[in-house]
Amino acid sequence: MQNNNLQFNSGLRLCRKKPQELIGSSTTPLVQVNLSGEWKNYLSPHEHQRRYGFETWTCTIENMGNDSREALMNFLIASGKIPLEDIKWLRNEGYLVNGKINFDDRIPAMFADIQKGVGTFVFKGMNACMDWSLPEGILYDQPKNFEEFIDRGKLTTRIDDLNNEFKRRFHMVWWWVDSKGDGSFDEETVREKRKSSPLGATVVYADGDGCLNPPGTHNHGVLNIGEDECYEIDDSYLTQFKKYQKTHLRNFCGWTINLKNMPKFVPKNNELYLLVEGPEQKLAMGLDGRLVIYDNKVDALINAASRSKEYKVPVPLTMEMWDQSPKIDGRGNKL
């Protein structure tokens, strides 16, 4: 059962994408950071876009922009990809609360050209999130209406300085997922892109059970966080988690965080690692910062279990992570 209102609009305006709007789409190489493509466990605490008691028309900012960036950063923190110095800075400045990143949605809304009662274009909401990365709660007042919500007079030099320092530490850009000629999306392309980032997308708003596929013009931005026979959705409006038919979603987009300054991958002692890219899968055990590659995979399983006193589930590695690690065979010879 599904329930939708064709007059409803949570903040989405549709337009044809122009070349200057394709931020990062052709110049930013995408790194597959979460090989499962499932992001639900990395979402930050749920926030409703009407939490101030009035409509804010911020679905492109809250769902497609900040919720996606938060989950991506949470994953990178959990997997040890962000330096401890930067994690400490995030915590001290209020970005990191109870282990999860929480970005402010209000300041990007001030710069997203939101039209009251209508909303804004996807690219304007995404650009505003890219330009403004501040911790939730940095503005202490409680706006009473939409006009107060987007009042730039609340900004301070402290806010500008903090935002600039964030951008110095974390270079974030967004990108479109390429569609087919008819505007539809290949499922495998979406699946592969979702290994790099949770994917913002547009839908016709609906609530209900099963795979939703309401008729009408797309009027809402959501976040695609996984899939089974349907796409699983994270939403800032009423029901947080729901599912849509895969053919329904449009205008997919995601995020990349520059990892150049991130720490190199170092294998942990007695951990199993599985290469999941390239022509063949390879299994290795971590030892003294190196990958030990045995003559057969069974030896790797037995050695890891005997050393750690427990059976290990292999950690998936990209080709980049595999290649940057020194390797030895089971007799200690360098490979």
- pLDDT of 4 over the 80 cut: no
Tell me the pLDDT band of 20, cut-offs 50, 70 and 90.
Answer: very low
Looking at residue 41, what is its pLDDT? 93
Highest mean pLDDT among 52-61, 107-116, 289-298: 107-116
For the ranges 259-263, 304-308, 330-334, the one whose mean pLDDT is highest? 330-334
Which of helix, strand or coil describes residue 207?
A: strand
| Other beta carbons within 10 Å of 255 | 28
- At 29, the pLDDT band (50, 70, 90 cuts) reads low
Whether the per-residue pLDDT at 253 is higher than 90: the answer is yes
Residue 12, pLDDT score: 64
Question: Taking residues 69-74, what's their average pLDDT?
Answer: 96
At residue 90, the pLDDT reads 95
Of the two residues 203 and 318, the one the predictor is more confident about is 203
Dmax over CA atoms of the chain, in Å, equals 70
In this predicted structure, the answer to whether residue 243 has a pLDDT above a threshold of 60 is yes
For residues 95-124, give the mean pLDDT. 93
- Compute the average pLDDT of residues 70-97: 91
Q: To the nearest whole percent, how much of the chain has pLDDT over 90?
A: 50
Q: CA nearest 175: which of 312, 29, 302?
A: 29
pLDDT for 273: 87
**Confidence at residue 9, expressed as pLDDT on a 0 to 100 scale:** 52
pLDDT at 11 exceeding the cut of 70? no
Is residue 10 pLDDT above 50, yes or no? yes
d(CA 242, CA 245): 11
Q: pLDDT of 263-272, one tens digit each?
A: 667 888 888 8
- Greater pLDDT, 98 or 108: 108
CA distance 78 to 87: 11
Confidence bin at 318 (pLDDT 50/70/90) = confident
CA 294 to chain centre: 36
Closest C-alpha among 11, 263, 40 to residue 116: 11
> If you average pLDDT over residues 322-332, what whole number do you get?
85
Residue 199 DSSP SS3 = strand
Q: Which of 169-173, 254-258, 277-281 has the lowest mean pLDDT?
A: 277-281
For the chain, give every residue range classified as CATH 3.90.70.10.
Answer: 2-257
Q: At the topology level of CATH, where does 2-257 sit? A: Cathepsin B; Chain A (3.90.70)
Pair of tokens at residue 193: 């892109």
182 pLDDT above the threshold of 90: no
pLDDT winner (highest mean) among 8-17, 76-85, 212-221:
212-221
Average pLDDT (282-290) is 88
Q: What is the DSSP secondary-structure string of 70-139?
A: HHHHHHHHHTT-S-HHHHHHHHHTTSEETTEE-B-SHHHHHTTTPBTTTBEEHHHHHHHHHH---BTTSS
User: Quick one: pLDDT at residue 181?
Assistant: 67
| Least confident range of 53-57, 67-71, 218-222, 278-282 | 278-282
- Other beta carbons within 10 Å of 69: 26
* pTM strictly above 0.85: no
pLDDT at 92 over 80: yes
Question: In which band, very low, low, confident or very high, does the pLDDT at 240 lie, cut at 50, 70 and 90?
Answer: very high
For 287-311, give the DSSP string. Answer: ETTEEEE-SSHHHHHHHHHHHHTSP
| Mean confidence (pLDDT) of the chain | 85
Angle of the 157-169 helix axis to the 84-92 helix axis, nearest 10: 160
